[in-house]
Chains A and B, each alone.
Chain A
């Protein structure tokens, strides 16, 4: 068990020990190193003012630069990575990095408080060599809020960068950083478990699945943390003491998406962003939903399993994974149990998970899903939590609908299928009359709540209309969406 973490900070090796287990990267940066360029705007991963980049080598030794919200990232989670903050971009002689110059040239800062976060989101895209073209910029910047500029000059700065100018610079910087990172830790360092803090807040990062199982067996009350995009807020927003918490992100193999028979097996530390890349070609519907899931910073840290395990009634992935007939795997020591995802959610705050069990994988059936549609209804298109989420799927054979699944989020205390509505479609032809009947039947399925995201009346009405929309889309083979970059194309053929 190692009680010291090692990482690169703006290209310099750091060895840190003696910190509380629940200290966030942002707190730490603004504390002793006094790197105050990184700002706290919300302490919940919603405004992006605290964005820094975190890079770890992939199997090929290449670094992927992930923009992360340092306000909700526990310090222990950066072990073995290269962290870069806004102070670490300019060259030692003070010459600005191209993303910084572009921001200055475009007059893209006013009050300047959000600016370091924007700079770091752009820097991540720059280093990764993608995300700066005109149709990608909204996605790259969705996790950064600016209250002054109206975004136009920031977008101009981003797109001005997309000319391959100084294109080799990113690569040179990456190779240099990768080499330093390799020199930072020995092979043994990577096999050590890590433990920071004491009983009040103890961060444990096992290195292997065996160690993970062993530690969790001993600490059955411990909280399992994936990307900390939810648990982080327990600390920063609810000011809770976590006690012992175990991080899945360092466990060897936990970040893998594997193939197991006809299933894709998503292991505990797979991030939303990894999942998005993996499924983008097969399930574009699902990819667009994921594009609007949090924002890049959240998707880069948050995990698919975490979004299931926290069992939020408004999580977006449970409905879509239910619509794909996914299963989950729960593990306790060597005992493994598999169940249909939809049976995992029992009631608000209550899941079919026994003490000592953890969500070790999600199993998603592979193969095309041509009738899968996802609808996310929010106040704002990007970086918003759903008022209502519908994932709908069905098979259509010999002129008859089968295997219909209408899975809703935001309509009940748990993610839930609309059984009455499904009945109206099952065995019927693909005809609007039946979708209307299904919409009408939703009243028997749900009695939604009113809250700050939407009234009960709105939730029910929009859910009903989403079934109409689903029917219209399937019967007309047209997409009818306003979200996303290619709106102009999407408008063709609405009537």
Chain B
């Protein structure tokens, strides 16, 4: 039931709940909080070696420096010295051995940042260097893996490849990506009674910080409370990477009895934290004359860095997206988690999915080039069957694709983007120009929604209705800018049929909703929206039962609509109904809980139904490349994305546009450079270039798929939208490749990512565009 009678109902483009606070500087982030007196500043001492034995660590001069209150090393940790999210392989402070440049060795708590900065360099640390493995190539050669490779198999690739009319082999490499959330990692710890710690943290995962902090301090989980009102961006970078800053702040508070905060400045943030996994994907593909892909083998190598972090899940998702939207009869995907002496790579919007998709999109593109076909034609030949086709495709991991809408979406996008005429115009332009080339590409997205790891797909909420009819809303999801709080408040407003202003959004805290999963995997609204709806329904049910009893009617006669509660022919304001229920001694507080149904996953066999449903999208990008310099522009982008039935169109639109440009950035200008000693050279915006305002497409057209509706029983039939649009950015990279393919007599460009101006120029040069 949809009603427009209340303000902030579902389907309305309500502004972000903090929009007014954002524009007036009144939205409070961790570093903005008024700190209690004597609050200490924590600074982390970092390794200067990529891989070495620590032979001596003398911190006496640091401790003696003015303004230093505490120096903390592994020896000062009462419990477990670990901040890793998965297994215990990520020490808070390195002991004996360092495994990347930037690794945390010790921390100091000082009266202010100036004192901390002045002291930190006084540490005397001697190292005995060990062999450092820095790259995927080096790791693959040395078989430096976190675990033995995992495999996902569908059909029999070996015989299919042997008998295929055509075969190709190739390799594509893509760089990592720094999250570059505008707000760096931040946490404030306040000590309480009995060793309790209250943490304010910029994190996607308050529960994990609670658990890891308690474990480090040797306390029960109940001794630590973690609160998160908002993050200044996260994108996966605050799923596990918030642990170290929060835990160092907590340790300082625990040891000194003073409040303490750890705020990473931009350089420290780059040096300390993990990024998107860079990857190397080898492929072996067999196909027929029409471009029908018969079999593909992929070897995916991901650079995980020095520890597991979330790499197991990321690798699984990379494997689960190696098919993207294509129904390929025979597939074998082998994944290598490379252990290197670099930052431990972590979650980043798409969580391995983008890397997985990159492989198959490259394959489609190269097959088309080989056969002299339009890549769109090859893609269309290989799409999963439409959901109305009467037969379903099966993914390499055994999930039936029951909800596929990629074909009608692509048909619509081809029409609305005028793809065919523009493809011809590009060819004509390229024939007439030798110094500058245009390129165009259409790529699809099919992205699995749910955490691969089944048990994570749960969420809780807590709702109080006060006796004046106002509502206090709390749930386990965190707000990082994606508008989750707003959407969930709309869901609750809708349920009670009251204006959204009556619903108070409150900070996520482990004290109200326990044992939450990270706000990740695009699942925030799906999980927390359902949990909140359920809590609201519980309270509604109690009120309805009470009123039905009072009015001697049955509960079905009690209807909440447009701020009123109707009981048969009578009606009263929601607040009056609440007041009466209160006087009638009805509980007006309830928890809600949701666990996603239908899921199963066997991680040893890489098989099951890891995803509740799929989100679909498609994009056309057109670019122009200057062959003299490699400079390029994104001339036009047309995006069509399936958000199901949107709960908040304005917010969903923001996710699509922002995700797309972030994907474009990953594949074009964002380049992480490490030197030969393993030191990250690009650790600030002066050297690491995320898209700026003028990098958005000059002509940008974004639409929702109008027929979109979730086949599954999700929250108000919507679809998750956080991650999928990022992968629409793949079209920009293949459009750049297409432009290079327009060089007269060019071989297949085999363009790697990021396609910086440098890479484009050197690739063009290799393809024969020489002018000197």
Contact = CB atoms under 8 A, between A and B. Distances in A.
B128 interface: no
A105 B20 CA distance: 10
Interface in B439-491: 480-483
Interface stretch (A147-155, A180-188, A245-253, A395-403): A147-155
A63 B21 CA distance: 28
B20 A96 contact: yes
Contact of A100 (B24, B183, B659): B24
A387 B482 CA distance: 35
Nearest to B233: A111
A107 B654 contact: yes
A465 B772 contact: yes
B31 interface: yes
B752 to A, nearest CB: 14
A36 B772 contact: no
Contacts of A244: none
A381 B626 CA distance: 13
B223 interface: no
B266 A43 contact: yes
A148 B654 contact: yes
B19 to A, nearest CB: 5
- Between A36, A380, A451, the greatest number of chain B beta carbons within 10 A of the residue's beta carbon is seen for A380
Q: How large is the interface on A (under 10, 10 to 19, 20 to 34, 35 or more residues)?
A: 35 or more
B692 interface: yes
Interface residues of B, number: 90
Given A86-B24, A465-B772, A468-B628, A147 B235 contact: yes
Interface string B600-639: 0000000000000000000000001010111111010000
Contacts of A147: 179-182, 233, 235, 658, 662, 690
Given A40-B265, A47-B182, A149-B657, A141 B669 contact: no
B267 A150 contact: no
Interface in A457-495: 457-458, 461-462, 464-466, 468-469, 472, 480, 482-483, 485, 487, 491, 494-495
Interface stretch (B50-58, B305-313, B377-385, B755-763): B755-763
A103 B19 CA distance: 8
Given A42-B685, A453-B687, A457-B762, A36 B232 contact: no
A116 interface: yes
Name the prevailing secondary structure of the B interface residues: loop
A109 B435 contact: no
B682 A112 contact: no
Given A144-B693, A466-B628, A112 B685 contact: no
Contact of B689 (A85, A111, A384): A384
Given A87-B24, A110-B16, A150 B696 contact: yes
Interface string B210-244: 00000000000000000000111111000000000
B107 to A, nearest CB: 17
Nearest to B481: A111
Contact of A153 (B18, B654, B659, B771): B654
B681 interface: yes
Contact of A239 (B117, B232, B480, B628): B117
Contact of B693 (A113, A154, A385, A466): A154
A104 B772 contact: no
A114 interface: yes
Nearest to B21: A112
A461 B762 contact: yes
Contacts of B180: 145, 147
Nearest to B183: A113
A143 B20 CA distance: 23
A160 to B, nearest CB: 14
A454 interface: yes
Contacts of B629: 375, 377, 462, 465-466, 469
Contacts of B230: 111-112
A451 B681 CA distance: 8
Given A44-B266, A465-B629, A491 B624 contact: yes
Contacts of A47: 182, 685
B334 interface: no
Contact of A86 (B25, B29, B234, B266): B25
Interface in B656-711: 657-662, 669, 671, 673, 681-682, 684-687, 689-696, 698, 700
B23 A119 contact: yes
Contacts of B671: 379, 452
A276 B426 CA distance: 37
A114 B658 CA distance: 14
A87 B682 CA distance: 33
A148 B695 contact: no
B186 to A, nearest CB: 11
Given A104-B20, A148-B481, A461-B761, A141 B15 contact: no
Contacts of A107: 13, 15-16, 19, 650-651, 653-654
Nearest to A483: B631
Contact of A382 (B29, B181, B694): B694
Given A149-B657, A482-B633, 12 more contacts: A34-B34, A41-B685, A44-B686, A100-B23, A110-B482, A111-B182, A112-B16, A145-B182, A150-B691, A239-B118, A466-B628, A482-B631
Interface of A: 30, 34-44, 46-47, 49, 85-87, 89-90, 96, 100, 103-105, 107, 109-116, 119, 137-138, 141-142, 144-155, 237, 239, 375, 377-385, 387, 436, 439-440, 451-455, 457-458, 461-462, 464-466, 468-469, 472, 480, 482-483, 485, 487, 491, 494-495
13 contacts: A39-B182, A39-B232, A44-B684, A46-B686, A100-B24, A104-B23, A114-B182, A138-B694, A148-B233, A155-B696, A465-B629, A466-B629, A494-B436
